[in-house]
Structure 1
Amino acid sequence: MRLPWLPDDPRGGFPPLSRALRDPDGLLAVGGDLHPERLLDAYRHAIFPWFSPGEPILWWSPDPRLVFDTATFVLPRRFRRRLKASTWRMSADTRFDEVVARCADAPRQGQSGTWIGAEVRAAYGRLHRLGHAHSIEVLDGDVLVGGLYGVAIGRMFFAESMFSGTSGGSKVALAGLARQLAAWGWPWIDAQVENPHLLSLGARPVPREAFLARIQSLGGFPGREGAWSETWETVSAAALATPPPSGGPTPETHA
């Protein structure tokens, strides 16, 4: 099957997800650009870009999709014991460009390069300045020891990449994000593609059709556009040593 090429107009839309390939899983379309309007439209329709620098832009929607449930996310017990004496603190949207650069430079098992090239960095930097892309920073003093970045639409967060400069830094960033989003009534973090590391942290697969229906519902709620630096509440990594109280989703997450 030949992949459809996207039109130059960023408002041109995407093919139906039913046209996505099974091998490689979820490859849907090629071409277009990373204009903010196109990127936001992609995420709203369970699609994301993933390509190597120098190649045409490839657009994906794998089936199933991997998600974290924010209300039940808990770090492994042994790791939480380590955090009790941690002096690390967390912030949001204070060093976005640095987080993206560190994600690009982070070594990946089985990969010799990075997909986060200059074009991708510039595109997500634009989304950040428009208030749609956000970073979570884990800091040891002024040293960035871990972090992640992604895109927020309504009450849904689409994680793009994370890194650890010091062992455990990315886990703390993910756990801090999950706790804050749960407090805001945001039930899911999109983790995109299944891998053993994400599964070990509690991510679970969701059929693409169900994922699409849920994110379109969550995307209709009022979100938190603009910088998160002023509303970020989870500031201490040591606080993550204590699991959050269990409970069901808040009423505001219901569609």
Structure 2
Amino acid sequence: MVRLDENDISFPDPELYDGHEGVIAFGGDLSVERVWFGYQLGIFPWYNPGEEILWWCPDPRFVLFPEELKVSKSMRKILNRNVFTFTENQSFREVIRNCQQINRKEQNGTWLSNELLEVFVQLHQYGLAKSIEVWQEGELVGGFYGLQIGNIFCGESMFAKVSNASKAGFIHFVESNKNILDLIDCQSHTEHLQSLGARMISKKEFLKILHKNNERR
């Protein structure tokens, strides 16, 4: 792994550096500029609060191509019944706070530190991060957030307080943006997103798509 200099916003080239289990660098800082620069290179921070910052570019990469979205018959019925309503960028801080605090199976604590949370809030204020909210009878019951880089959405985390809330929000988001987005970066595998059509691609293929996207911006 490469140690980053806090005074120099740079990363090792993820195409040339494999790292260890997807970790290509450590250290540095969580400035808005560094985090945003990292995502444009396909690199994201993921670490336990209180420990040194780790920067990842896994191989393979877990992604969803919008045209490959899978919606089960049961989920289509739920969507057609209008059980949920959806908004965008109406409660970013509340969404990310819920993602931080929600209890998850086989996970003790959270990877989302307060410092990183505030970085994403700033990125949202700059128009670079967005949230999707899922409501039921006026209550926020699910949602997710991430960064939008041109035609690629880098999903970060989601939460649900009632069954199917986050899944419904994700489906709504993908179907509403299928003519805009080329790819949704899910980073690491989850059965939840695999059931919706997400799959693994090589880091090389992911970075190729990302670079083409950056050239068009």
What amino acid is aligned across from residue 8 of structure 1 in structure 2? E
Displacement of 1:111? 0.8
Moved over 3 A (4+): none
The equivalences for 1:111-130 within 5 A come to: 111-130=107-126
| SS of corresponding position for 1:166 | coil
Q: Name 1:14's counterpart in structure 2.
A: 11
Displacement of 1:126? 0.7
Contact residue 10 and residue 33 of structure 1 kept, 8 A:
no
| SS of corresponding position for 2:177 | helix
Where does the alignment leave 5 or more consecutive residues of structure 2 unmatched? none
Deviations 1:15-55 (A, max 9, x none): 12243334xx2011111112121112111111110011111
Q: Which of residues 206, 210, 215 is equivalent to 2:205?
A: 210
Contact residue 131 and residue 144 of structure 2 kept, 8 A:
yes
Q: Percent of counterpart pairs with the same letter?
A: 35
TM-score, scaled relative to structure 2: 0.94
Q: Name 2:69's counterpart in structure 1.
A: 73
Q: Distance in 2 between matches of 1:221 and 1:99?
A: 30
| SS of corresponding position for 1:101 | helix
Contact residue 152 and residue 181 of structure 2 kept, 8 A:
yes
Contact residue 181 and residue 187 of structure 1 kept, 8 A:
no
Q: Distance in 1 between matches of 2:210 and 2:84?
A: 32
What amino acid is aligned across from residue 120 of structure 1 in structure 2? L
Q: Distance in 1 between matches of 2:135 and 2:206?
A: 33
Q: Name 1:95's counterpart in structure 2.
A: 91
Residues paired across the two proteins, number: 216
Q: Sort the Cα spacing of 1:89 and 1:98 in 2 relative to 1 into closer, same or farther, 3 A.
A: same
Q: Which of residues 146, 149, 161 is equivalent to 1:150?
A: 146
Q: Name 1:250's counterpart in structure 2.
A: none
TM-score, scaled relative to structure 1: 0.80
Where does the alignment leave 5 or more consecutive residues of structure 1 unmatched? 223-255
Deviations 1:41-95 (A, max 9, x none): 1111111100111111110011010111113313211221233222421110000
Displacement of 1:221? 3.0
Q: Distance in 2 between matches of 1:150 and 1:197?
A: 17
